Structure 1
Amino acid sequence: MEKFKAPVVVQFPLRGEWAVPNTPGTRIPSHGTNLLGTRYAYDFLQLDWKRKGSPCYSVSPLSYLLAGVSVNRCYCYGKEIYAPCAGTVIEIEDHCKEREKARLLSDFRRAGANSRFDPDRDDVRNLTGNFIIMKHSDGIYAAFCHLKPGSVKVSVGQAVKKGDILGCIGHTGNSMFPHLHFQLMDSADISAANGLPCAFEPYEVCNQGKWEKIYGGIPNAAQRIRFS
């Protein structure tokens, strides 16, 4: 595991309980590539921890495999996203169409096609879907991707405070299920940005049924975490 160099510490961008299937706490690059500022990026989604396999949707696995699952049946769909730090909104994309269902085969094919993404040729929105980019300070930018269409609560040029609502989780872009893709990067241009390491202000981790507070931590993929 790569040793982090002074990660930027911000507040958790969500509320409630979450899983982190893709995280620099488990592997670096967290998404298998350094492109598009994703080296230290996080994916967040909600699971039913009491069901076998801890699915992120309320239908049966067979229903998902055969017919797909409506985004409304995915636990984190529409959940609000919060500014993890103070800053200024630099760019917004809110016109990407949302897929009404998560479907294994079509979403898998889309992910395969996007794995060959060329930033000089392809549209970054095929990956990000709807997004918000905000500037935290010189050389530190935050990106929030796969947002629900029409959910953005801020505007370009707007100053935001830590904890302000930015938008809602959706199923746009390169997304197998509704989830939040969050990353810090050194540029507002996702196509050219380098990822920056990021840790979080106090949050909690469930350890054998008991919640323990973590300070300045980097969650891993095996953890059940929460922030309230």
Structure 2
Amino acid sequence: MSVHRSAVLLHRALWLVFITQAILSPFVDLPYDYWLGWLPGLAAIALGFRLRAIEERRVRAGAPAPVETEPPVTGRWSAQNSPADRVPSHGTHSRGQTYAIDIVAESDERPRPPFSPLWPIARRNGAFPAFGAELRAVADATVVHACDHRRDHLSRTSWPGLIYMLIVEGVVRGVAGRGQIFGNHLVLDLGDGTYAAYAHVQRGSLQVREGDRVYAGQAVARCGNSGNSSEPHVHFQLMDGPDLDRARGIPFTWRGIGVPKNGETFTADPAVPETSA
């Protein structure tokens, strides 16, 4: 048995011991001091962090070469949940999100509202500079999926709003599936087994339909706040298939930018779309 497999089994055993004694302690007089009962749980947490770090290194080591594309936006933006900081970037490999990134628009004239601990609980989307920003095709591609009928909800940029999103909405959206998680979304076939997905698209903003041929830099939709989103932002990812429920993530790098780290601000220059002859 490998060392890694042994560590995984030990991690499970520590949690089992901790949970078992927690259940039995009200009914059984355990033969050791109360505080010692926390040791298996603390050890399990520490080992869990270690195993997660090992898994992230394994994913990075086995990752395919990044695919270079144009950025999906223009102007000044900053990164959140970036694969430059951790993999999987969103805490999961499901739905092709291993190397996904979230970006929010930055504006000196209309700054993003700060996170509010209690009030206002929610803000209208127009308060955020990302809302309505153009989304661009990252390469010459074919549209394989496009939907924009779901509503854009209010922000969740307060503790009450965030808790509601994670606990109440999160459960419902997780059961309802990809449409409720990604909201309005667009999938482009870039060729060579690579697909680009844009999530949280603004309702009614699609400028393309399934089967359309698009060109790098072409406006295809607008940024919205649909689906599992705390504020208007762009969720972008590359993957190896068009089905979000089955696809695996592919690393990306944006031409002239690379992969921005969490909190890093970057400026994307517009690509000049080509046109067919």
TM range, smaller chain: 0.7 to 0.9
| Distance apart, 1:227 and its partner CA | 1.0
Following the alignment from structure 1 to structure 2, what is the Cα–Cα distance between the partners of residues 112 and 194?
26
1:11 aligns with 2:105: no
Deviation string, structure 1 residues 109-138 (Cα, Å, up to 9, x no partner): 22345656898x532111100000110013
| Residues 35/69 of structure 1: CA separation in 2 closer, same or farther (3 Å cut) | same
Following the alignment from structure 1 to structure 2, what is the Cα–Cα distance between the partners of residues 94 and 13?
17
Report the equivalent of 1:109.
Answer: 164
Matched residues, percent identical? 28
2:80 alignment partner, SS class: strand
| Alignment: residue pair count | 209
Q: 1:220 aligns with which of 237, 257, 261?
A: 261
Following the alignment from structure 2 to structure 1, what is the Cα–Cα distance between the partners of residues 260 and 163?
26
| Residues 62/23 of structure 1: CA separation in 2 closer, same or farther (3 Å cut) | closer
Higher relative contact order (CA 8 A, sep 6+): 1
Q: Please, what TM-score do these two structures have when normalized by structure 1?
A: 0.83
Is the 1:114–1:127 contact (alpha carbons within 8 Å) kept by the matching residues of 2?
A: no
Q: 1:178 aligns with which of 232, 236, 258?
A: 232
Q: 1:76-91 counterparts in 2 under 5 A? A: 76-91=130-145
Report the equivalent of 1:144.
Answer: 198
2:120 alignment partner, SS class: helix
1:153 aligns with 2:207: yes
Is the 2:115–2:157 contact (alpha carbons within 8 Å) kept by the matching residues of 1?
A: no
2:78 alignment partner, SS class: strand
Unaligned runs of 5+ in 1: 204-216
- Range that drifts further, 34-43 or 91-100: 91-100
Following the alignment from structure 2 to structure 1, what is the Cα–Cα distance between the partners of residues 170 and 96?
15
Which structure is higher in strand share? 1
Following the alignment from structure 1 to structure 2, what is the Cα–Cα distance between the partners of residues 169 and 111?
21
| Residues 112/8 of structure 1: CA separation in 2 closer, same or farther (3 Å cut) | farther
Which one has the largest radius of gyration? 2
| Distance apart, 1:108 and its partner CA | 3.4
Unaligned runs of 5+ in 2: 1-56, 270-277
Report the equivalent of 2:182.
Answer: 128
